[in-house]
Amino acid sequence: MGTFATSVQRYIRDRMLETHPSMDWKTEYSIAGTPVDIIGEDTSSLYLMELEWRRADPADNAAKLFRHLYTGNIEAANVVVFQIFTEYYDLSRGGVSTKRKNAEFVGKLAAESLDGVAYEPMEFGIEPPKQGSEWPPSWEATADEVVDRVSEKLRQQDSSDR
């Protein structure tokens, strides 16, 4: 990963720590040898965030995580996988690429098949810079929007668990 992606990871983790201080938030957390960009956990839930920048096959990220859930390498009563896509996966004529559609299909199908698992695809509204390019000036505001959307999903899950 490049410097920009690492900075965004840390920024989102730090904002999640501020927003949800009772949870433990980490970056580059290894699950059965698979690094997850950002994880958050409490006594009953595990939140996994995969940031998709320019991956040739983002379905592979989703498939690996769901395989680990299926085989029991991830143990938690509730697991939510957030797959966060940059504008790299948007098509110029509108819509999103087949790569993203495939990733979302894998995520939704796996979540329907596994108890206690949810899948949430999300937008990260920037075009990721190529190595050596300038960082988008609005990246922190865009990351804050992601934190807000993830936080809303956490609040919804928390209220439905009551």
Per-residue pLDDT tens listing for the chain (162 residues)? 588 889 999 999 999 999 999 999 999 998 888 889 999 998 889 999 999 998 888 988 888 888 988 888 777 778 999 999 999 989 888 889 999 999 999 999 999 999 889 999 999 999 888 877 889 889 999 999 999 999 999 988 776 665
- How do 34-41 and 24-31 pair as beta strands? antiparallel
Predicted local confidence at residue 107, as pLDDT: 94
* CA dist., res. 78 & res. 117, Å (int): 6
Look up the pTM and report it: 0.92
Predicted local confidence at residue 49, as pLDDT: 96
Domains, the chain, ordered by start: 3-161 (3.40.50)
Which residue, 5, 31, 16, is CA-closest to 144?
16
Predicted local confidence at residue 77, as pLDDT: 79
